[in-house]
Amino acid sequence: MTLFVSLICIIFSAFLPQNPLSQAPVDTSDQQLGVQEALNIALENSPALNRIKEQLNAQKGKRRASWMIDDPEVYYMREGMKNSQFTEQRWAISQSMDFPLASYYQLQSSDKQVKALETRLEAEKLQLKAEVKRAYTDLAYSIEIFHLSNEQVNLAQKLKDAASTRFEVGESSQIDVVQSEVQLAEAQNDLNDAQRRIQNARYTLFNVIGLDPDQQRYELEFPDTLAYFEYNIQQEQVLSKLPDHPEARFMNKQVDAARYQIKATKTRYLPSLRIDYYKQELPSFSSNYDFTGFEVGFTIPLWFAINQSGEVQTAKAHYHDMQWAYKETSLRLKKQAEQAWHSYQSSRSTIQRYHDNIRTKSRNLLDLTQEGYSVGEMDLLTLLEAQRTYLDSQRRYYQALRDYYHQMIELERYLQINIVFNQPVQP
């Protein structure tokens, strides 16, 4: 009895609807969340991506219905119901169908719709990858600013200690000590603000990838960091990839599907077919008078001006709409790609200047000024100015590096390759 009940429960559970919103478990046991792990989570949990997948499954289901074959009809006819003997009876099966060309063109249109959704899925994956990488870049930038704020606090603490020492030996005034204390307090405030920005960036990344709240732990570490690397991208290289971009191919497939839909709609001008096969008995003529036969018929689209013509006009209008949408998409992609490349060129020049020149000189300036202040050759204002120059150059360097990453991430969408967080970099 127990075995029978268990078997019934298993069979019944097989027909229960599954929860499509359940998330796959994410392994974060190593307490690290890199870019690749974040991308894997996002591809699994993205609502927009999963909606397109379900739309693709639905379109594949519609494709099966594109054969446009009606269910067969079985019927029975008898005359002479009041008498024990009937005068005629007939068993028949009837099959109706559209003209064969209608099924062919409808099937072609459905195939193009399926391929269009497949390319739309590719485009959504590219967009999602860009969003995840941008969010991770912003988090990595916030971490670098936090490290810089720590360095700012250390510099301010050293300045306060030096100012206090010089005041004790009579080489500086109380004003220098107070001013150094103010600088330390401001540095500590900047450190607190940097901590707040890290938390905001963390939760922005968690939201983008759809990480389960139970797995959004403070212990998570983010190993991938920002570092400068040289990568040259030519404008022609970007523009040559635009016709093959998934968004352009999606609209192109939509145009093809609309064109086949016009042909499928025009087949409505053709007659639909009907075939009947029957077995008939006529006992009033002879006890052995029974035979089989068939009937063939077709419709005459007599009122095409009212019915079919309107449908064809609608299909043509949809086709022209898809053509304009394709042109609009091509122009938009061209504009966005041009803007992304020019922004990349500007950010590339900026980060090269910071990396090759400004960072090194500002660091040397600070070292020389600190050495001069320690031996009494420089006053406090000169040292403060050198520290501010160094810290500002460091902040602007990381801002330029973040912008450099952002622009290359945007170009990744058009080149359809991985550039950022994909290769060893130089510090």
* Residues 116-146 pLDDT 10s: 999 999 999 999 999 999 999 999 999 999 9
- Asked whether the predicted pLDDT for residue 308 surpasses 80, the reply is no
The predicted pLDDT at position 90 comes to 80
How confident is the model over 242-270, as a mean pLDDT? 90
- Asked whether the predicted pLDDT for residue 286 surpasses 70, the reply is no
The predicted pLDDT at position 15 comes to 45
CB 141 within 8 A of CB 204: no
CB 269 within 8 A of CB 298: no
- Asked whether the predicted pLDDT for residue 64 surpasses 50, the reply is yes
The predicted pLDDT at position 328 comes to 95
CA–CA–CA angle 203, 208, 212 (5° rounding): 70
- Asked whether the predicted pLDDT for residue 68 surpasses 60, the reply is yes
Residue spans of the domains in the chain: they are: 28-415
Shortest CA distance to 394 belongs to which of 423, 365, 369?
365
How confident is the model over 186-212, as a mean pLDDT? 91
- Asked whether the predicted pLDDT for residue 5 surpasses 50, the reply is no
Token pair in block for residue 228: 């400068």
Phi/psi for 73 (5° steps) reads -115, 125
Q: How confident is the model at residue 235 (pLDDT cuts 50, 70, 90)?
A: very high
The predicted pLDDT at position 193 comes to 93
Q: Which CATH class is domain 28-415?
A: mainly alpha
Q: How many residues does the chain have?
A: 427
According to DSSP, the residues that pair with 274 across neighbouring strands are 96, 297
- Asked whether the predicted pLDDT for residue 288 surpasses 80, the reply is no
The predicted pLDDT at position 285 comes to 54
Shortest CA distance to 45 belongs to which of 140, 131, 159?
131
- Of the chain, the percentage scoring pLDDT greater than 70 comes to 86
Token pair in block for residue 262: 């016009």
The predicted pLDDT at position 295 comes to 83
Phi/psi for 128 (5° steps) reads -65, -40
The predicted pLDDT at position 84 comes to 60
Q: Rounded to an integer, what distance in angstroms lies between the CA atom of residue 213 and that of residue 206? A: 8
Q: Rounded to an integer, what distance in angstroms lies between the CA atom of residue 241 and that of residue 333? A: 10
Q: In this predicted model, what pLDDT tens digit does every residue of 365-403 receive, in sequence order?
A: 777 777 787 777 777 777 777 878 888 888 899 999 999
Lowest mean pLDDT, pick from 189-193, 238-242, 288-292: 288-292
- Asked whether the predicted pLDDT for residue 253 surpasses 90, the reply is yes
The predicted pLDDT at position 424 comes to 46
How confident is the model over 173-197, as a mean pLDDT? 87
Instruction: Specify the higher pLDDT residue, 358 or 260.
Output: 260
Residues in CB range of 367: below 8 A, 6 or more apart? none
- Asked whether the predicted pLDDT for residue 336 surpasses 90, the reply is yes
How confident is the model over 59-77, as a mean pLDDT? 79
The predicted pLDDT at position 9 comes to 52
CB 46 within 8 A of CB 128: yes
The predicted pLDDT at position 321 comes to 95
- Asked whether the predicted pLDDT for residue 30 surpasses 70, the reply is no
Question: What type of residue is 141?
Answer: Y
- DSSP assignment of 373-421 equals HHTTSS-HHHHHHHHHHHHHHHHHHHHHHHHHHHHHHHHHHHHTS--TT
- Asked whether the predicted pLDDT for residue 231 surpasses 80, the reply is yes
The predicted pLDDT at position 277 comes to 86
- For the chain, helix, strand, coil in percent to 5 are 70, 10, 25
- DSSP assignment of 173-234 equals -HHHHHHHHHHHHHHHHHHHHHHHHHHHHHHHHHHHHT--GGG--TT-B-------------
- Of the chain, the percentage scoring pLDDT greater than 90 comes to 34
Helix (H, G, I), strand (E, B), or coil: what is residue 283?
A: coil
The predicted pLDDT at position 73 comes to 85
The predicted pLDDT at position 270 comes to 82
